[in-house]
Every structure is written in C-alpha cells, then in structure tokens.
C-alpha cells in the first residue's frame, strides 16, 4: 500500500468522504481541520506543499423548455474551491507521495484555516486571501501579502479581468 | 574546529550524531528545539517602556537579495521580532498564465527564478504535459536533465559568490570569491548560449519536448567546462572552507530545526543541511533521473556552514551527473508534438487539476494547473499556481531571527538563498 492509499482509507472510513481520482476527497468546512490534523498526526503527512484557491463564477440556472425538450439545470453559486496538498516524506519502505484534498467555499463564507496544523500554511493562506479573496477564519495574521494594502479587488478572481476599469498600475 | 575531509563524491557525515524520528523521517536529535519563537510576539507586552528600535531593512538593501523588506524590532543590537514584507516584485505571473496559452507561458516563467530559468521551464512544462497527456521522447528527457544539472551548478555558483558578499567582504577581501564564481558561471552561460541562442531566458523547453537539439561538439565542450569547474571547486574549498573568518561567521549561526522546516514546507539544500535526507530527484524521479543514480549529500549541522557544505557537495554531484549523462545521450526526436506555429495549437481536454514537482536548486518547485472546465478543449489554463521553494524558505525568518544580531541575520538570510522574483512572482 502507498501513503496516498492509507490517506484515502482514512478519508473514507473515518470521515465518510467521497474520493475523486485526481483531486482527492472533498472535505466539508466543518471537518477540514480535524481531517488535516488526522492526516498529519496519524499518517505523518508533515511536509506542507500548497494551498490553492480556484475561483469559479456563478452559473445561472437553465429553465426547462417543453418545446425543445430540455430539462431544467440548477444554477451553481459563485464559489472558490480551496485545494490543499501535503507530502509524506520517503522512508526506507515506501517512496514519498503527496495527498490532495479540497473544500468548496461559497463566496461570502469563510474557510477554516489549517495554519494551526501546518505552520507553513500561514503565508500561503495570506496569498490566497490576497489574490483570490478566500477568507480564512482563525488565521492569526490575515493581511494582504503581494498587493498593496489598499488595492481594490482580488486579481486572480475570474471576474477581475485585465481589461476592466481597474488601473493596472499604481 | 575540526579539519573536514571532503573528497569528490564522498560527502561528509558526522558519525556521532544521535537520530530520532520526526514525521516519519530520521532527523538529528540535537537540532530539535523544544519551543519556537513566537512570530506574532506583542512588542508592547515585551517591553512596555518602549525602549526598542524598529529598523526597516530593505526593500532597497544590497544584502536582501532583491527587494525584500524586513521589519526588525531591536533591543540593542539583538532582534526580538522580525516581520518580512513581500510583494515589491509582484508581476502577476499567475494572472498572466490565465491569459496566455500553454506554449506562450514558458518565456514568462523564465523570469520567475531568474537565477535558474531552466528548472522553471522544466517545472511548468512537466505540469502541462501531465495535464495534456503528452509524452516526452527519451532524448529530450536527457537534454532536460543535463540542462537542469548544469543550471544547478550555475545557480549554486552565484549563491556562493553573493554569500561571500553577505559576509561583508569576509572572504578574500570584498568581492574576490564573487568575481571568481562569476567567471565560472560565465562559462556555463556560454554553454547555454551555444545550445539555445540565449544567455539568461532560454525558452528552450516546450510542451512535449525541447526546441533546441544539442549542436555538434557541444557535448565535448560541456564536459570540458564541467571538468574545469570541478577543479575550480577544489580551489574554492581551499579558499573558503577553512578560512577563519568564514568559519566564525557561519558555524553555529542560524540553526534550523528540521521539524519546523518540514512543517513550513522547506525543501532543498536548506532541509538537507538539517539532516533530512530528502531529494525529489531520487525519491520521485522525473525526466531522466530514473536512469541514473543520484547521491544526496546531507549534513547534520543545520547552520549556515552546513548549508554551504551541502551546496558545494551538490555542485560536485551535479557535475558528475551531467558528465555521465552527456556520454550517453540517446538518438531520436526531441519533441513528441509537431512544431507549434500558432499559440493556440496545444490544447488540454480536461478541467481537472494536476500537480507536478521537481527539485530545483532551491527545493521543491511545483506547479498546480487546472484546465478550463467551461470548454471541452482549451489552449489556456484556468488557474496556474507556482509553488516556489523560496517563499517557503523565507517563512523561516520570523522563527530564525529573534535572538540574533543584525549581522547574523544577514548571513542567515543569504544562506537561505531566496530569489525574490520567485517569491513574489
């Protein structure tokens, strides 16, 4: 068994999560810190790799059309998907491996911070807050890190186009 | 001071070290510290009388290796709190990646880590290849590996020169070692110029392989240059390693706790100098590293001197790997895709995210790419995140600086080898 299979088993058995092949399990915001801590303390996924927020804009709902024969498709809210990844370093028996998990945060809500689990998440979460606008609750020092403090908006959101009225220089 | 024996290919390990297991890996016991300094220390609480000085080091400071600003709270000359400020070199590379196509991004990421552009290109193109599902021919993988290893030597040479400057002219009077290492780095830049036509920003990797094949006679010239640098490395070691001033400034300065370093996500020579035997070239082989043995030099000191020893041993190892690979470059195509004439020609099908990582001269350089989920085929990534090892290394500063005086902070910062272009992106 590999480290990632161990982690998948933990996610399925203890936390009851569904596992997607490439992006790992989708963890609810209420379980996120507990899951991260179990991953680190029990399976030794100590090496922190990244946290990446990806913004997906709102998808408007499609109404049913009886003439064309199409069904109604529910809309999806404006949201960010926060991807995490941690690495289990190699030991004598097994090679190193990373394990990814993610959580979906609707815009306007906050995501729990994992910087109490991995110290290295501190600046990474600040960067994602700065560039994508995900708010991490319980973060010890949530400030902008890349952009100036009075910068309007969050540049890596999909609705922040380069050719809008935001001045691209300061 | 012990006289240290170091011969090529035989790196130094202190036999008397006691080991313990942290996070599933072996680390030296004596480097584990019971408590880390508090990076969010309340200065008012520490000294209500306000007899402290706040000093802004940077952003325009010769020893901060670029535009890093560090706010130091000083009690006399001893730092009690350190707050780094980034973003002075933020160019929005990740936003640009959302606007450019897969083949257009390579020359942009060249400018991220401007000391080792080859590894940047390799890192991002590996992620794109994983997303698109493109194979890389064996010859291209060899060329990539040789370039990456030569680049590692060049990057560490530049580090050694600027590290000498950080010590305030401690080595050989001012810029001597700087001038020497830059002379050797020039030879490597000439090699890359022969291969790609450019000296700094190569744009030679592309999705599915390389753009430039090895020209006639290049392998011999490269072998010769690497041999010259190998002999010069011995001279540097004589020059620097047993230099009394160099020892006084580096031994026991800036000791890094491996447990903290692992949690912070620090990798590369900084982690290996703290006794953690980790190297992605060996543990998770990419390119042509699965066809060659990679010896991983580690040290148990954890201080600036150990980081110097690790980097010099790595240069030797890189020279050996590159020389060995140069003798056996296989024949064949160098790119699996047809030459691209239009920027939108290479398309990814999926909207999933992939992560690939390589061992850059500074550590784990990874790329997380998400293909466009809104369209079935798209030539433009939806989100592209570059995981830069320098940014993780800089997170150490609030933990390392308290308790040290300013001159030691500058040496410690230099030994982490941060490249601000990569930190801010």
Q: What is the per-residue pLDDT across B293-344, written as a single tens digit (0 to 9) for each? A: 888 888 888 888 888 889 998 999 899 999 999 998 888 888 888 777 777 7
Tell me if B282 sits within 8 A of B292, measured CB to CB.
Answer: no
pLDDT by residue for chain A (170 residues), tens digit each?
Answer: 777 777 777 777 777 777 776 677 888 888 888 888 888 888 888 888 889 988 888 887 787 777 777 777 777 888 888 988 888 887 777 778 888 888 888 888 888 888 888 888 889 889 999 888 888 888 888 888 888 888 888 888 887 766 655 554 44
Q: Which residues contact B289 (CB under 8 A, 6 or more apart)?
A: B145, B281, B282
CA angle A134, A137, A142 (to 5 degrees): 70
pLDDT for B15 equals 60
Please state the pTM of the whole predicted model.
0.86
Band of residue B223 on the pLDDT scale cut at 50, 70, 90: very high
| CB neighbourhood size of A2 (10 A) | 12
Closest by alpha carbon to A47, among B361, B266, B270? B266
Q: Which residues contact B410 (CB under 8 A, 6 or more apart)?
A: B63, B166
Tell me if A99 sits within 8 A of A39, measured CB to CB.
Answer: yes
Pick from A47, A100, A141: CB nearest B355 = A100
Contact list in A for residue B266 (CB cut-off 8 A) is 120
Tell me if B322 sits within 8 A of B294, measured CB to CB.
Answer: no
Mean pLDDT value of segment B124-141 = 88
| Distance from the A29 Cα atom to the nearest Cα atom in chain B, whole angstroms | 20
Distance CA B72, CA B54 (A): 6
pLDDT for A163 equals 63
Closest by alpha carbon to B117, among B191, B221, B199? B199
Band of residue B9 on the pLDDT scale cut at 50, 70, 90: very low
| Distance from the B339 Cα atom to the nearest Cα atom in chain A, whole angstroms | 30
Q: What is the CA radius of gyration of chain A?
A: 19
Band of residue B153 on the pLDDT scale cut at 50, 70, 90: very high
Q: Which residue of B has its CA nearest to A156?
A: B95
Q: Which residue of A has its CA nearest to B424?
A: A146
* Alpha carbons within 13 A on the beta-carbon side of B192: 25
Mean pLDDT value of segment B337-354 = 77
Closest by alpha carbon to B17, among B383, B302, B422? B302
Distance CA B38, CA B232 (A): 43
Q: How many CB pairs under 8 A join A and B?
A: 110
Residue B3 has pLDDT above 50, yes or no: no
pLDDT for A34 equals 87
pLDDT for A164 equals 55
| Distance from the B284 Cα atom to the nearest Cα atom in chain A, whole angstroms | 7
Distance CA B319, CA B314 (A): 8
Pick from B90, B276, B394: CB nearest A146 = B90
Contact list in B for residue A48 (CB cut-off 8 A) is 263-265, 392
């Amino acid at each position: 068994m590999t480290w990632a299979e161990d982690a998948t088993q933990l996610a399925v058995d203890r936390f009851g999560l569904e596992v997607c092949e490439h992006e790992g399990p989708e963890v609810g915001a209420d379980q996120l810190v507990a899951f991260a801590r179990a991953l680190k303390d029990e399976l030794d996924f100590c090496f922190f790799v990244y946290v990446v927020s990806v913004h997906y804009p709102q998808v408007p709902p499609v109404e049913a059309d009886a003439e064309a024969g199409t069904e109604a498709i529910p809309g999806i809210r404006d949201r960010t998907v926060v991807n995490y990844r941690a690495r289990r370093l190699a030991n004598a028996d097994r090679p190193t491996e990373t394990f990814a998990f993610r959580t979906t945060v609707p815009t306007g809500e906050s995501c729990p911070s994992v910087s109490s689990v991995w110290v290295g998440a501190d600046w990474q979460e600040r960067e994602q807050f700065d560039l994508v606008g995900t708010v991490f609750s319980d973060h010890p020092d949530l400030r902008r890190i890349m952009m100036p403090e009075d910068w309007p908006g969050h540049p890596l959101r999909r609705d922040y186009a380069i050719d809008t009225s935001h001045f691209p220089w300061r | 001071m012990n006289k240290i024996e170091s011969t090529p290919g035989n790196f130094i390990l202190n036999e008397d070290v006691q080991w313990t297991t942290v996070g599933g890996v072996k680390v030296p016991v004596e480097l584990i510290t019971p408590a880390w300094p508090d990076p969010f220390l309340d200065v008012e609480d520490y000294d209500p009388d306000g007899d402290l000085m706040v000093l802004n080091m940077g952003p325009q400071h010769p020893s901060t290796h670029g535009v890093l600003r560090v706010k130091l709270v000083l009690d006399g000359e001893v730092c009690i709190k350190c707050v780094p400020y980034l973003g002075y070199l933020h160019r929005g590379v990740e936003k640009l990646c959302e606007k450019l196509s897969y083949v257009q991004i390579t020359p942009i990421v060249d400018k991220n880590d401007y000391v080792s552009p080859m590894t940047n290109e390799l890192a991002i193109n590996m992620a794109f290849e994983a997303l698109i599902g493109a194979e890389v021919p064996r010859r291209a993988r060899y060329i990539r590996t040789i370039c990456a290893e030569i680049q590692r030597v060049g990057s560490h040479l530049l580090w050694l020169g600027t590290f000498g400057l950080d010590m305030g002219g401690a080595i050989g009077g001012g810029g001597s070692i700087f001038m020497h290492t830059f002379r050797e780095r020039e030879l490597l830049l000439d090699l890359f110029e022969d291969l790609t036509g450019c000296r700094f920003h190569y744009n030679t990797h592309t999705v599915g392989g390389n753009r430039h094949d090895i020209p006639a006679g290049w392998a011999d010239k490269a072998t010769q240059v690497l041999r010259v640098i190998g002999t010069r490395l011995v001279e540097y070691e004589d020059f620097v390693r047993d230099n009394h001033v160099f020892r006084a400034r580096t031994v026991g300065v800036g000791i890094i706790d491996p447990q903290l370093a692992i949690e912070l996500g620090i990798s590369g020579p900084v982690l290996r100098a703290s006794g953690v035997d980790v190297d992605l070239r060996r543990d998770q082989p990419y390119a042509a590293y699965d066809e060659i043995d990679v010896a991983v030099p580690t040290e148990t000191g954890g201080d600036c001197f150990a980081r110097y020893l690790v980097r010099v041993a790595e240069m030797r190892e890189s020279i050996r790997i590159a020389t060995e690979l140069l003798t056996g470059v296989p024949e064949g195509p160098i790119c699996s895709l047809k030459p691209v004439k239009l920027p939108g020609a290479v398309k990814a099908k999926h909207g999933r995210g992939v992560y690939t990582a390589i061992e850059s001269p500074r550590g784990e350089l990874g790329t997380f790419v998400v293909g466009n989920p809104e369209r079935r085929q798209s030539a433009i990534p939806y989100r592209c995140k570059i995981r830069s090892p320098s940014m993780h290394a800089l997170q150490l500063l609030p933990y390392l600086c308290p308790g040290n005086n300013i001159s030691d902070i500058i040496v410690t910062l230099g030994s982490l080898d941060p490249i601000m272009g990569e930190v801010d992106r």
